[in-house]
Structure 1
């Protein structure tokens, strides 16, 4: 003998009272006993995530026990027969609304659990910066699922709706193809882990900045000029993105230096490395190093290689190093060669005409020049006939 048969054997008022008392009692016990015990248990844990889940599920759990009694009354034949309304009316005004309320409560709760969990994880570390994309997808899934179950409860035939939705979907798809592309582009960027909030990225189109917001449709960058640039996710998904903050935030900078031929290289290298060691923006590890790259036309070409803590410090560190190196080389008397040109002009043969004006007595041929490289990067140019 099942529970419905047992309740049906009782007088209608006793069966109704028993069902209502049982459902309300279960709701009270859940709120007063089970929820309190669960709160004490989760309070002992280190994470706050379990507390967020408990608070999101508490209300729908308690109301579900209370509404189950209302729905159960519409399923007991003896109670239905004793009510002075038809079974269809009882189902329409009590059974289906109660069940619909339970479905909507749990849809709201499940969506809240995921959204609050995403917010918690997003605040806990940069690893979950793309989590809002998943949150939006989950919200869409819960909304569609709750709508489908609600229509099923009310026995609404969705076939005409599906046919109309198919036609409308095609029209919306053409009208919102960019939005859809941005949406799926954001999902692709999430799974590829291309960048995170706080990363400094450069695009092949020339834009560069720090990622300050990652949304479903677009990503927002803040440039060094504190200008916000919004880039659609579909563009980012198809573009070449250089993440200067991955896999680590530190970045190596290269400072080219030219020194004159004949310079004491040991003294020069030691001086430059001392300048780099004294610069506060330069990291101690890896240690700065000097590299002799090539023999130039008028200089020995070197590069100073050193590391900074963040790609946003590249420009400032390069500026300070250039100034420090210049001052150090000047004080040490080490020459930094630079291009120079010495021009020698030859006097043309001229005569003074009777009216006192100067005029050439012979045609002046086209001027020619020849450059000769001189020590220290100087070149000599001669104009005129050779």
Structure 2
């Protein structure tokens, strides 16, 4: 009975049981990074192992040899991959592939070199805790380097795609900030997740907290987010662009001066700037006067002449008025149409085109003035409302 130890004393079955349980629990929450980095003897042929054991009898010598070998192998790997990629992309006209190769050289080199550096660390007579910590630090540095390079690669790709906006309509200079922010968040989130796994931190609780925070922020900034997403789709769909003349549901008409991710600004003909949230304008009916096959705008000049007028003469006069105006375009040619019989006039309409919608008011004024003066010269009457009063009998007669 004297050989039986009390529970909790060193070497007892009870302590060994709890130790095994604790180790099993820790192994489910973290990844053994040191297991990824093997010792050099695992890569050597069996006939070379005795020689390596002799070299490893001097730990510092083995460490230096592995570091030098890792540096050489890293250089060779980077040179081989760079040359192979260059051969594949040398026929391309763009220099984007060359920029990507230049950016990836350093992280590729550090990945291979730090792998050998981890093996070199195992050749030293270090405690298991210190060895594990050093390898985790090396792995963390590699992840951070890849995150930073990922940001640069994202910027180059977005700039390239924005220049090819005819093929990728959603990626334009206005939408680059949104794509850039989203891409950086995803890259940072992925890198952070890997770092948490490397250091044995359970990311589940962090993800749950981030989800709760995201929901709270979404409710608090729902209007801002609605404007943001509406602005993104407006820029991607381009129902209008800067410089276009649009008509709003509320009756305002003006030129679009800015299309942002939060709002759209319109300068009216009264030189008043209107700022409209994208969430509002995205759900409204917008008439874009500058869209269509041409940027030109059609003018409709409505004219009424008295009954009994020579209709052929009226058509010729209106046609010549439009053709003689220097700011009315020649193609499409102006045309005149008779639209109906009014209460006191024959209704005509002069149809002509102008170069820019901004000239609509000015040219309408000038054409109406020219029509009136020409009708006066040609003795063509423009009727107006008349009232004939018939007195049946005079009062008091």
Asked whether 1:221 is paired with 2:263, we answer: no
Asked whether 1:69 is paired with 2:112, we answer: yes
Of 4, 10, 13 in structure 1, the residue corresponding to residue 64 of structure 2 is: 13
Q: What number of residue pairs does the alignment pair up?
A: 338
Of 296, 301, 321 in structure 1, the residue corresponding to residue 367 of structure 2 is: 321
Rounded Cα–Cα distance in structure 1 between residues aligned with 2:68 and 2:171: 52
Rounded Cα–Cα distance in structure 2 between residues aligned with 1:254 and 1:162: 63
Query: Segments of 4+ in structure 1 off by > 4 A?
Result: 7-10, 25-31, 33-42, 124-131, 190-193, 379-382
Rounded Cα–Cα distance in structure 1 between residues aligned with 2:161 and 2:209: 35
Query: Does structure 1 conserve the Cα–Cα contact (< 8 Å) formed by 2:303 and 2:349?
Result: yes
Matching residue of 1:60: 103
State the Cα distance separating 1:273 from its structure 2 match.
0.5
The one-character-per-residue Cα deviations of 1:160-199 (angstroms, maximum 9, x if unpaired) are 2222223222321221010111122234435654223333
CA 1:284–1:254: 2 relative to 1, 3 Å: same
State the Cα distance separating 1:53 from its structure 2 match.
5.6
State the Cα distance separating 1:226 from its structure 2 match.
4.3
Secondary structure at the counterpart of residue 201 of structure 1 = strand
Matching residue of 1:281: 327
Asked whether 1:103 is paired with 2:147, we answer: yes
Structure-to-structure mapping, 1:156-175, within 5 angstroms: 156-175=201-220
Secondary structure at the counterpart of residue 334 of structure 1 = coil
Query: Does structure 2 conserve the Cα–Cα contact (< 8 Å) formed by 1:289 and 1:306?
Result: yes
CA 1:243–1:385: 2 relative to 1, 3 Å: farther
Matching residue of 1:246: 291
State the Cα distance separating 1:254 from its structure 2 match.
0.7
The one-character-per-residue Cα deviations of 1:322-352 (angstroms, maximum 9, x if unpaired) are 1221222222222222345xxxxxxxxxxxx
CA 1:288–1:83: 2 relative to 1, 3 Å: farther
Asked whether 1:256 is paired with 2:294, we answer: no
- The structure carrying a bigger strand percent of its residues is 1
Matching residue of 1:151: 193
Matching residue of 1:120: 163
CA 1:34–1:299: 2 relative to 1, 3 Å: same
Query: Does structure 1 conserve the Cα–Cα contact (< 8 Å) formed by 2:74 and 2:112?
Result: yes
Rounded Cα–Cα distance in structure 1 between residues aligned with 2:366 and 2:267: 24
Secondary structure at the counterpart of residue 307 of structure 2 = coil
TM-score (norm 1): 0.74
CA 1:285–1:256: 2 relative to 1, 3 Å: same
Secondary structure at the counterpart of residue 242 of structure 2 = coil
Rounded Cα–Cα distance in structure 1 between residues aligned with 2:390 and 2:149: 88
Of stretches 66-75 and 15-24 in structure 1, the one that deviates more from structure 2 is 66-75
Rounded Cα–Cα distance in structure 1 between residues aligned with 2:138 and 2:43: 21
Secondary structure at the counterpart of residue 349 of structure 2 = strand
State the Cα distance separating 1:276 from its structure 2 match.
0.7
Matching residue of 1:363: none
Matching residue of 1:271: 317
Matching residue of 1:375: none
Matching residue of 1:367: none
CA 1:165–1:65: 2 relative to 1, 3 Å: closer
Matching residue of 1:82: 124
Secondary structure at the counterpart of residue 133 of structure 2 = helix
Rounded Cα–Cα distance in structure 2 between residues aligned with 1:16 and 1:223: 70
Secondary structure at the counterpart of residue 303 of structure 1 = strand
TM-score (norm 2): 0.72
Of 224, 227, 234 in structure 1, the residue corresponding to residue 279 of structure 2 is: 234
Listed as ranges, the gaps of 5+ residues in structure 1 are 341-370, 373-378
CA 1:385–1:26: 2 relative to 1, 3 Å: farther
Rounded Cα–Cα distance in structure 2 between residues aligned with 1:121 and 1:308: 32
Matching residue of 2:137: 93
Rounded Cα–Cα distance in structure 2 between residues aligned with 1:23 and 1:166: 40
Rounded Cα–Cα distance in structure 1 between residues aligned with 2:133 and 2:170: 50
Secondary structure at the counterpart of residue 82 of structure 1 = coil
